[in-house]
Structures are given as structure tokens and as C-alpha cells.
């Protein structure tokens, strides 16, 4: 069974740090681009970051640039999100997710096809 399981969430003070982990199983992690998406309480989905299959390219939403770092260890089938200088507005459920590359009408499309159950990060004093 294809599965993603996040861990590492919790309560942290403003300015603190936290490292989220995501364990992948049932598929070969190294074959897929991976993504973190978050959802603040009562709000919509926000894409946070993604990372290429070999880790050579990383992208971030503007609000986390310079504070968050996405990384992966394909040998350990794991994805990570290191979060520093945390703010109250970073409070959210963080989802680890897989980017799947589809072929349709001879063109290529990405879609986020597998999601973890989410881990909750609360930034509060």
C-alpha cells in the first residue's frame, strides 16, 4: 500500500524551530518529486515547498523562504521540512504529499496524488 506518514509536529514558541519528517512506503521515493502543503485552522490549502527527485531543485512559497528548508533522504525513504524562526501564522496542519507526473494527450501534467494524514504545528507562547 502506498503510504505517507508525517511526524514531528507539536507546540513551539514563536522564534523556535521544528523538524517535520515524512516516511514513505509502498513506492520508490527517489522516483517522485515531493511536496509539503499546509492548512491553517479553518483555512484553505497552501502549497509550502517541493523538491525534485534527486534533491537538486527546491522551491518555496515566499512566506517561508529563508526560514524553511525541504530535504530528502531517498535511501531512508524520507522527506523532511526543517522550520526555523517560526511565527504564529505558521500554525497549521502540515501534509507531506507526492507529485505524480501524468501523461495526457502527449503532454505532461503534475498532480498531488498521495497525501499523508498530516501533522499539527502550533506556534504559540
Partner 1 sequence: DIQMTQSPSSLSASVGDRVTITCRASQNIDNYINWYQQKPGKAPKFLIYAASSLQSGVPSRFSGSGSGTDFTLTISSLQPEDFATYYCQQSYITDMYTFGQGTKLEIK
- For partner 1, the binding residues (CB under 8 A) are 35, 37, 44-47, 50, 57, 59, 61-62, 95, 102, 104-105, 107, 109-113, 115-118
CB of 9 to partner 1, least distance (A): 14
Q: How far is the CA of 1 from the CAs of 26, 27, 30, 89, 114, in angstroms? A: 5, 8, 17, 34, 11
CB of 95 to partner 1, least distance (A): 6
Q: Which is nearer to partner 1, 11 or 101 (CB)?
A: 101
21-50 as b/e, with b when 16 or more CB fall inside 10 Å?
bbbbeebebeebbbbbbbeeeeeeeeebbb
CA–CA gap between residue 92 and residue 77 (Å, rounded)? 24
Q: Which is nearer to partner 1, 65 or 76 (CB)?
A: 65
CB of 79 to partner 1, least distance (A): 15
CB of 69 to partner 1, least distance (A): 16
CA–CA gap between residue 60 and residue 26 (Å, rounded)? 27
Q: Which is nearer to partner 1, 11 or 110 (CB)?
A: 110
Amino acid at each position: 500500500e502506498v503510504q505517507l506518514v508525517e511526524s514531528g509536529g507539536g507546540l513551539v514558541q514563536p522564534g523556535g524551530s521544528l523538524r517535520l519528517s515524512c516516511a514513505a512506503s509502498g513506492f520508490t521515493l527517489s522516483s517522485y518529486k515531493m511536496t509539503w502543503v499546509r492548512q491553517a485552522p479553518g483555512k484553505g490549502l497552501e502549497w509550502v515547498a517541493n523538491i525534485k527527485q534527486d534533491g537538486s531543485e527546491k522551491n518555496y512559497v515566499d512566506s517561508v523562504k529563508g526560514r524553511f528548508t525541504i530535504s530528502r533522504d531517498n535511501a531512508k525513504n524520507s522527506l523532511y521540512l526543517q522550520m526555523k524562526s517560526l511565527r504564529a501564522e505558521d500554525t497549521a496542519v502540515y501534509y507531506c504529499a507526492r507529485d505524480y507526473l501524468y501523461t495526457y494527450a502527449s503532454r505532461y501534467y503534475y498532480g498531488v496524488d498521495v497525501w499523508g494524514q498530516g501533522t499539527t504545528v502550533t506556534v504559540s507562547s
